[in-house]
Amino acid sequence: MSTFLILGASGNVGSVLSTTLEQAGHTVRRATSRPAGAGQVHVNLITGEGLGAALDGADAVFLLSPPRHFQAYAQEYRAAFV
Protein backbone atom coordinates (compact mmCIF):
# COMPACT_ATOMS: atom_id res chain seq x y z
CA MET A 1 0.00 0.00 0.00
CA SER A 2 1.03 3.62 -0.48
CA THR A 3 1.58 6.60 1.80
CA PHE A 4 -0.28 9.78 0.83
CA LEU A 5 0.35 13.31 2.07
CA ILE A 6 -2.93 15.23 1.96
CA LEU A 7 -2.54 19.01 2.10
CA GLY A 8 -5.87 20.50 3.11
CA ALA A 9 -7.04 17.28 4.73
CA SER A 10 -9.58 19.09 6.92
CA GLY A 11 -11.38 20.58 3.89
CA ASN A 12 -14.41 19.20 2.06
CA VAL A 13 -12.46 17.25 -0.56
CA GLY A 14 -9.36 16.43 1.51
CA SER A 15 -11.33 14.95 4.41
CA VAL A 16 -13.31 12.61 2.14
CA LEU A 17 -10.19 11.64 0.21
CA SER A 18 -8.28 10.91 3.43
CA THR A 19 -11.03 8.64 4.73
CA THR A 20 -11.41 6.88 1.37
CA LEU A 21 -7.68 6.20 1.11
CA GLU A 22 -7.51 4.86 4.67
CA GLN A 23 -10.50 2.59 4.06
CA ALA A 24 -8.64 1.22 1.04
CA GLY A 25 -5.70 0.33 3.31
CA HIS A 26 -3.36 3.21 2.50
CA THR A 27 -1.42 5.30 5.01
CA VAL A 28 -2.52 8.95 5.13
CA ARG A 29 -0.62 11.94 6.51
CA ARG A 30 -2.98 14.84 7.11
CA ALA A 31 -1.23 18.19 6.74
CA THR A 32 -2.50 21.29 8.51
CA SER A 33 -1.34 24.88 8.69
CA ARG A 34 -2.64 25.03 12.27
CA PRO A 35 -0.92 23.41 15.25
CA ALA A 36 -0.94 19.69 14.48
CA GLY A 37 -3.27 17.43 16.41
CA ALA A 38 -3.39 13.66 16.57
CA GLY A 39 -2.76 12.12 13.16
CA GLN A 40 -1.72 15.44 11.63
CA VAL A 41 1.54 17.08 10.55
CA HIS A 42 2.14 20.83 10.57
CA VAL A 43 3.09 22.32 7.19
CA ASN A 44 3.48 26.01 6.34
CA LEU A 45 3.22 26.34 2.56
CA ILE A 46 4.46 29.94 2.67
CA THR A 47 7.74 29.30 4.50
CA GLY A 48 8.10 25.60 3.73
CA GLU A 49 8.28 24.78 7.44
CA GLY A 50 7.52 21.11 8.00
CA LEU A 51 7.18 20.30 4.31
CA GLY A 52 10.35 18.23 4.03
CA ALA A 53 9.43 16.05 6.99
CA ALA A 54 5.85 15.67 5.75
CA LEU A 55 7.06 14.59 2.28
CA ASP A 56 9.62 12.12 3.62
CA GLY A 57 8.47 8.65 2.61
CA ALA A 58 5.30 9.85 0.88
CA ASP A 59 4.46 8.11 -2.38
CA ALA A 60 2.00 10.79 -3.53
CA VAL A 61 0.79 14.25 -2.57
CA PHE A 62 -2.65 15.78 -2.92
CA LEU A 63 -3.18 19.55 -2.85
CA LEU A 64 -6.37 21.33 -3.81
CA SER A 65 -6.58 25.00 -2.99
CA PRO A 66 -9.41 27.35 -3.93
CA PRO A 67 -8.31 30.39 -5.98
CA ARG A 68 -8.88 32.76 -3.05
CA HIS A 69 -6.28 30.85 -1.04
CA PHE A 70 -3.82 30.94 -3.91
CA GLN A 71 -4.05 34.72 -4.03
CA ALA A 72 -3.36 34.95 -0.28
CA TYR A 73 -0.40 32.56 -0.58
CA ALA A 74 1.02 34.54 -3.50
CA GLN A 75 0.71 37.85 -1.63
CA GLU A 76 2.32 36.43 1.52
CA TYR A 77 5.09 34.81 -0.53
CA ARG A 78 5.87 38.07 -2.33
CA ALA A 79 5.89 39.99 0.97
CA ALA A 80 8.24 37.46 2.57
CA PHE A 81 10.70 36.81 -0.27
CA VAL A 82 10.57 39.58 -2.87
Q: Nearest-CA neighbor of 27 among 59, 71, 52?
A: 59
Residue 5 contacts residue 56 (beta carbons within 8 Å): no
How many structural domains are present in the chain? 1
Rounded CA separation 59/61 (Å)? 7
Statement: residue 73 has pLDDT above 70 = no
What mean pLDDT comes out for the span 1-23? 92
- pLDDT, position 45: 83
CATH number at residue 54: 3.40.50.720
What mean pLDDT comes out for the span 35-49? 86
- pLDDT, position 55: 93
- pLDDT, position 82: 55
- How do 40-42 and 60-63 pair as beta strands? unpaired
- pLDDT, position 63: 87
Q: Nearest-CA neighbor of 30 among 75, 77, 13, 48?
A: 13
Statement: residue 78 has pLDDT above 70 = yes
Q: Residue 40: give the domain boundaries.
A: 3-81
